Amino acid sequence: MKRVFGRVVTPFAFLCSLMLAGPSQAQSNDAYVYIAHAVPGRNVSSTTTPDFPIDISAGGACIVKGESFGEILGPFSLAAGSVKFDISMANTASPCSNSTLYSATASLDAGANYFGVISLNSSNAVWAQLFGPNLSGIVPGWSRVMIANVTAQNLTATLTSNTSLNLSVPAYGSVVQSVPIGMYAGTVTLGGTSTFEAGPASATLMSRDFYFWVLTGSATNNSVQIVGPRVIKDVH
């Protein structure tokens, strides 16, 4: 299911892809949000620091202070319901006090888990998408992989072990796949072609663990990068 948050009513419209599956921590009145920073500073401008550190407030509370490109922080426990998020450039002396780069309101369900991904839209402006991971039980001997693509191009992620598994990840979308445990090498190509974009990246997938990656940057300037993984262990 795909949901648009905050309705498109301001220049800072919060266009979020939400694929909900499998309740987690259903008895809680809170929602749990991981924040992935996927804004390569050099994609903003040639003079911007590559780390592009940011602060994020949620419901008026400064929850992220100085997160850098490539980090995936959390989970942050937030009261379920309507929550306003504000993203600004990091201010070490007074976190969350700089001018807002992006603002949006999201509706968070009690007991649900989310991955919020901060990236750049097709106009090269900071924005965010919200993804709901499938945290239903994983059987022993298997893992689960989720790959979010926040670029403007369709991409193919190839996981190679004894055999190769090709996962088509649409622009601004995601894919979830159950994968046998083992050691894998991952590469990224432009969708429908053999044009290399990113990798190789290696990972050892463990039994009953959930892995989240982000594909970010842009194929138009050969800057696609892989962020992650963030691992959620022992999903059962």
pLDDT at 15 > cutoff 60 = no
Determine the Cα–Cα distance for residues 101 and 122; give it in Å rounded to an integer.
16
DSSP one-letter string for 73-120: EEEEEEESEEEEEEEEE--SSSTT-SPEEEEEEEEE-TT-EEEEEEEE
Tell me if 117 is assigned to some domain.
yes
pLDDT at 8 > cutoff 50 = no
Tell me if 19 is assigned to some domain.
no
Instruction: Identify the domain containing residue 218 by its residue range.
Output: 142-232
Tens of pLDDT along 128-166? 999 999 999 999 999 999 999 999 999 999 999 988 999
Tens of pLDDT along 83-115? 999 999 999 999 999 999 999 999 999 999 999
pLDDT, averaged across the chain: 90
Q: Around 166, how many Cα atoms within 13 Å sit in the side-chain half-sphere?
A: 10
Q: Which of 10-14, 110-114, 203-207 has the lowest mean pLDDT?
A: 10-14
Q: Considering the chain, what percentage of its residues have pLDDT values greater than 90?
A: 86
Number of structural domains (the chain) is: 2
Whether 38 and 108 map to the same domain: the answer is: yes
Tell me if 111 is assigned to some domain.
yes
- pLDDT, residue 163, reads 86
CATH code of the domain covering residue 177 = 2.60.40
Confidence of residue 27 (pLDDT cuts 50, 70, 90): low
Whether 95 and 160 map to the same domain: the answer is: no
Confidence of residue 3 (pLDDT cuts 50, 70, 90): very low
pLDDT at 189 > cutoff 80 = yes
- pLDDT, residue 61, reads 98
Tell me if 4 is assigned to some domain.
no
CA-nearest of 169, 119, 125, 129 to 149 is 169
